[in-house]
Amino acid sequence: MIEVRNVSKSYGEVQVLRDISFSVKRAESKIILGSNSSGKSTLLRLLMGLEKPDSGEIIIDGKDITKLSEWELIKFRKNKSIVFQEGALFDSLTIRDNVGFKLYDEGWDEEEVDEIVFKLLQFVGLEHTIDMYPSELSGGMKRRVAIARAMAGEPNVIFYDDPTAGLDPVTSRTICDLIVKLRDIEGVTSVVVTHDLSVAYFISNFMALVNDEGMISLREQSEDFCFINSSFLMLKDGKVIFDGSEKALKKCEDPFVREFIS
C-alpha cells in the first residue's frame, strides 16, 4: 500500500530524514517509534504529500506522490487522513461541522452529511456530542472526534501523529481501540507515530473481530491466535535503525533500541 524508497529531507543545513526506506501492507499498522526530533512528524507530512522530499520516492496507491502536481495531490488526499497530535478541531464549529467538514467541502448535501456524521460519531461512541462545541469536550473526547473526522470520506490510509499524547492510560486505551477497529474491521492502512510503548504494543497485540450479530470485540493475540497485522519502525536522528515485527524488536541488539524499549 505504501512504499518509501531512499527518502531524504533537509531544512536548510539540517538533514531531518536520511535515506529512509520501508513499506506498509494493506490494512497493516506501521508503528513508528523514535525520540523527539527524530523526524517522525516530517515523515508523516511527506506521506500525506504536504511537503516533498529532496530525493527518493513515495509510492502510495501505486503512484509516486513526489511526482504529483498540487492539483493531483488534492485528489490523492481525498481518501487519506491525518490525526494530529492535539486533535486540531476547529473551536468555532460544532462537532457536527468539524466531523462533516470534508464532506461539506466536497459538496455533499446537508441531510447526507448529517447521516454520515451521526454514524461516524457512533463509531467513536460520541453521537450525543453532535451539537456541542470542542470546548465542552474532554481531551480524550476531542481526540475521538478527530478520529471520527479522519474517517469521513472513507480513507484507505490514516496517519496518526502521537494520537494519545497527553492522555491518561484509560483514555489512551479508547483511542487504541479505535485504531485497531479501523484497521481490522474497516481495513484501513495506518501509520501510527507514538512515543508510548504501551500504545505500540496494544496496537500490535490486539485485534478486532466482528460476530454474526455485528458486535465488535477486541481480542488479545496469543500463540494459538495470531494474526500479523502490524510492524515497527524506529527512527534515530532521521535514520531507520529498526524495521520489523514486535518479536524481532524485542530481540534487537542495537543498544539504542534496547534502551528505548526497556
Residue 43 beta carbon to ligand ADP: minimum distance, rounded to whole angstroms: 7
Using the minimum distance from each CB to Mg ion, give the nearer residue, 40 or 143: 40
Q: Which of 10, 15, 41, 221 binds Mg ion (CB under 5 A)?
A: 41
**Of 38-46, 109-117, 120-128, 142-150: span binding Mg ion (CB under 5 A):** 38-46
In angstroms, the CA 192 to CA 158 distance is: 8
Residue 94 as a binder of Mg ion (CB under 5 A): the answer is no
Dist CA 209 CA 190 (whole Å): 18
Q: Is residue 39 near ligand ADP by the rule CB under 6 A? A: yes
Nearer to Mg ion, 82 or 95 (CB): 82
Residue 23 or residue 41: which is nearer to ligand ADP going by CB? Answer: 41
Dihedral sign for Cα 123, 185, 113, 65, please.
Answer: positive
Closer residue to Mg ion in complex, CB, 40/77: 40
Q: If contact means CB under 5 to 8 A according to the sort of partner, which of Mg ion, ligand ADP, none does residue 262 touch?
A: none
Determine which residue in the list 4, 24, 33, 42 makes contact with ligand ADP, applying CB under 6 A.
42
Q: In the β-sheet with 2-11, what is the strand arrangement from edge to edge? A: 14-24, 2-11, 55-60, 63-64
CA distance 138 to 156: 28
Output the smallest distance, CB 15 to Mg ion, in A. Answer: 17
Smallest gap from residue 46 Cβ to ligand ADP (A): 10
Window 4-23: contact mask with ligand ADP (x via CB under 6 A)? -------x----x-------
205 binds Mg ion (CB under 5 A): no
Of Mg ion, ligand ADP, none, which one sits near residue 229, judging by CB under 5 to 8 A according to partner kind? none
Rule CB under 6 A: which residues touch ligand ADP?
11, 16, 34, 36-42
Rule CB under 5 A: which residues touch Mg ion?
40-41
